[in-house]
Structures are given as structure tokens and as C-alpha cells.
Homo-oligomer: A and B are copies of this chain.
Amino acid sequence: MDDDPTGKNCSNGSSAFPDILPETRDELDSLSRLRRYRSGQSVIEENVHTDFVGTVQSGILRMQKTFADGRQHVVGLLVEGDMFGRVFDGAIEFSIEAATDAEICIYPRTPFETLLVRSPDLDRAVLLNILNELDRARDWMIILSNNKITSRLAGFLILMCSRFATVDHMVEPKSDGVHIKIPISRTDLAHLLGTRPESISRAFHALEDEGEIEILEPDHVTLRDLPALAARAGEDEAETVPRLKDTLNAIRPSRSVS
């Protein structure tokens, strides 16, 4: 980790809490410290008490459970605007690592909790942030309970679109489809989707053979047929696809998504 030597605050570190009052934001920012991590570095160890909570400024973090025998299991990704660390409640059950180079805002636990008690607006923002994360965990459950790997992969790709749409250079609607940068390795993706890297690779190429995606590089694909992917993922096509298009059009209103 690379604690900022000047002890400088995050500029706009509270982007994870969009609807708080300006004065709360100022106080929050004055608590914050910026830290930079390089891909692969550990941010929080599993079951170790941490004296801070944090929000992601840029980059991707990986949440994972590490077993005694060394196996690791990815249980989620954190992006720009996500909060992590347990308020009021000691250790978290997962370790957190940088999946890409990343910048995070650190808030020391005690002052953060004090501010939380004084500022109902922040309190509510934290609560909404967590509720949001709960919904996302349930989205994962639905993806994971697909029995075919191509379906889980399709679900993952669609989730990427809706979830990472706001993250720089991650999702870009273009005329020939939606370009996506995949932030984790095949091995991690395999863990996340409950399978092996070989099967992930085969699933990618199966989707390509069906014409639903195009693999530009291993970590860079074009989604060519969103409705087909949504149908494969077992999503409610009639519901998911229009919402996705809205989301994507919001990034680049000038371009057609389909």
C-alpha cells in the first residue's frame, strides 16, 4: 500500500454517498486519507480487525474468502463508489485485494462513526449503500444458480453492463455492440462463477460461436446480442434489456446501443 506521504485528503472522496449535505461532505472529506494500491496488493486481511472503513475512488477491488488450505474464493467485486468495512462491528469475514491498480479513501472508524451519529443524512446514505450491496449479492445468487456455465457467464456480462456502466473505460456502447473490459483473470472469474478456468474459456468461445459476443482479447469482449445473452442468462428479457439500454444510452446518448 502507498499511504499518501502528505497525509492529503481525498478530493471528493465521498462520491460513494451522493446525497449528503455539503457540510457533511466537507467533514467527511476532512477525515479521509487517500491510499493507492497496485494490482494484487492486499487491502484488508480476513477476520482481522480494521480501524477504518473505506470507499473505492478508482479501480477494482476483489472480495474473497481464503480457506485454511489456501484455496481462495472470490465473492464479489468493488468498484468506484462502493463502500467496504463494517461500521460498528469489527472484523469483516472476507479479505479485500486490489484487482487492478486502485485508489481508495480511508476513514478512521471512530471519527466516522461519530460523524455518522451526528449526521442523519450520512447515516441514511450508508444504509442505502449497504442495501444496494445486498441487492447486488442477491443478483449474484441468481446468476450462480444457473446450471449452465454459458448462462452464468452471460449473466456476469450483463451484470457488468448495468453495474460497471459508470466506471471509466469499462463499458462502452459502440455501433457494433457493447465493448467490455473484464477486470479479472479467467481463474478469478472461474472462482466467482463456481467453475474452472478451462470451462470459462470454453464458455467464452461457445458464446462467440453463437455470435452473441466477440472476443477481441481475453479481457476485452464485444457484446453483440444483448437480448440473446439476457435470454440465456434466464433474465426477464422483456424487463432487463430495456433497462440496460437506458443505462447504456445514458453513457453515450449519441450512439445507438443495439
Whether B75 lies near A239 (C-beta < 8 A) is: no
Task: Give the complex CA separation of A239 and B137 in angstroms.
Answer: 24
A6 to B86 alpha-carbon distance, docked (Å): 41
* Residues of B with C-beta under 8 A to A168: none
Binds B, one of A121-129, A173-181, A204-212: A121-129
Which residues of the partner chain B approach A88 to less than 8 Å between Cβ atoms? 124, 127-128
Partner of A137 from the list B94, B141, B194, B196 (CB cut-off 8 Å) is B141
B residues in contact with A68, CB < 8 Å:
236, 238-239
User: How many residues does chain A have at the interface if contact means C-beta atoms less than 8 Å apart?
Assistant: 44
Is residue A193 within 8 Å, beta carbon to beta carbon, of the partner chain? Answer: yes
| Choice from B76, B89, B191 contacting A131 with Cβ under 8 Å | B89
A234 contacts the other chain (CB 8 A) = yes
- Taking a contact as CB atoms under 8 Å apart, the answer to whether B93 and A194 are in contact is no
Hey, which chain B residues are within 8 Å of A137, CB to CB?
A: 134, 137-138, 140-141
Q: Decide yes or no whether A241 CB sits under 8 A from chain B.
A: no
Residue in contact with A94 in the complex, picked from B76, B138, B234, B236, CB distance below 8 Å: B138
Contact across chains for A93 and B142 when beta carbons are under 8 A apart: no
A256 to B120, CA, bound (A): 48
A238 CB contacts on chain B under 8 angstroms: 68
Give the shortest distance, in Å, between A94 (CB) and chain B (any CB). 7
Alpha-carbon separation in the docked complex, A137 to B126 (Å): 18
Question: Hey, which chain B residues are within 8 Å of A123, CB to CB?
Answer: 123
Q: Are B195 and A147 in contact (CB under 8 A)?
A: yes
Question: Which chain B positions have C-beta within 8 A of A89?
Answer: 128, 131
**Chain A residues within 8 Å of B, Cβ to Cβ:** 65, 67-68, 71, 73, 75-76, 86-89, 93-94, 117, 120, 123-124, 126-128, 130-131, 133-135, 137-138, 140-142, 144-147, 191-196, 234, 236, 238-239
| Chain A to chain B: the 10 pairs with minimum beta-carbon distance, closest first | A145-B194, A137-B137, A144-B144, A134-B134, A68-B236, A75-B138, A67-B236, A75-B141, A140-B141, A130-B130
